[in-house]
Structures are given as C-alpha cells and as structure tokens.
Amino acid sequence: MSKLTFPSHPLLLGFDQLERLVERTARSGADGYPPFNIEVTGGHSFRITLALAGFREQDLSITLEGRQLVVRGQQTDTDAENRVFLHRGIAARQFQRVFALGDGVDVARAALSDGLLHIDLKRHEPEETVQTIRIDRN
C-alpha cells in the first residue's frame, strides 16, 4: 500500500496540521468494526452512530484525546464459562474506533439506545474579523 502524501504547494502555508489529520485518518480506517454512520443533523451539527449490539454503557468508554474522539468497547460476559454453546456466532470482542475532529468541533452529548451509540457533535463557527496589516517602511 502506498503512503498518501499531502500536496506540498507553496501556497499551502501552515497546513501541517491538516496533513497530519489526513495521515491519521488513513491509518485508523483499517478495521470495519463496529460499523458506523456520520450524518449532518443541522447547519453546524453532526451525529456519529455506531452499531453496538450487545454492549452496555459500562462496556464503553468515550474519550477526547487532543482532537481525536476515541470510542472503546470491551464486553464482559461473566456467565460465559458456565454456558455451553452449540454454535457461537456472536463474538464478544473489543474494539477501538478513532474519529479525528476538526478545530472548533466539540462533543455535545452521547447516548446509547437500542444497540446504537449516538454521539452528537457541534461545530462552533469563528467570528469573521477583518484585520488591517500595517506596512512598515524600511
């Protein structure tokens, strides 16, 4: 697999953080579990929905590490050793899913319902300001 390279155009000054974001996103997209949706819910709001059948609130951890939203899950089945399975097709597995958040995007809330974890995000739009740059004489 070839490495994605961000264009190094002379007019793209100060976009190093965007390059790191693209590289981090490319690395974190290897595993397809758990499946998720990202939808626009308003002008400046988004929702990430992860399909987490069988997970309880105590099995999940949601953290914000820098500008990365990290969702971790580990199912704990204390009765598994006492049960005999004829077929076990529902795996109790752990996962970690990382989402890179842009500047100004904050987590508003998270809720687990009917096997779906909903994480609502809100983008705060910066105020547009006009700044006059003074020209100094040499």
The C-alpha atoms of residue 52 and residue 116 are separated, in whole angstroms, by: 6
Do 17 and 40 have their domain in common? no
Task: Indicate the DSSP class of residue 34.
Answer: S
Q: Give the pLDDT band (50/70/90) at residue 1.
A: very low
Q: Closest by alpha carbon to 33, among 77, 93, 89, 90? A: 93
pLDDT digits (tens, 9 = 90+) for 117-130: 999 999 987 778 88
pLDDT digits (tens, 9 = 90+) for 61-103: 999 998 899 999 998 766 667 888 888 777 677 899 999 888 8
Provide the whole-model pTM: 0.70
Q: Quickly tell me which residue has 């597995």 as its tokens.
A: 93
The C-alpha atoms of residue 42 and residue 37 are separated, in whole angstroms, by: 15
Do 48 and 6 have their domain in common? no
Total domains in the chain come to 2
The residue ranges of DSSP E strands in 31-115, in sequence order, are 36-40, 45-51, 60-65, 68-73, 95-100, 105-113
The whole domain housing 5 covers: 1-30
pLDDT digits (tens, 9 = 90+) for 30-70: 568 899 999 999 888 999 999 998 899 999 999 999 889 99
Instruction: Report the DSSP beta bridge partners of residue 112.
Output: 117
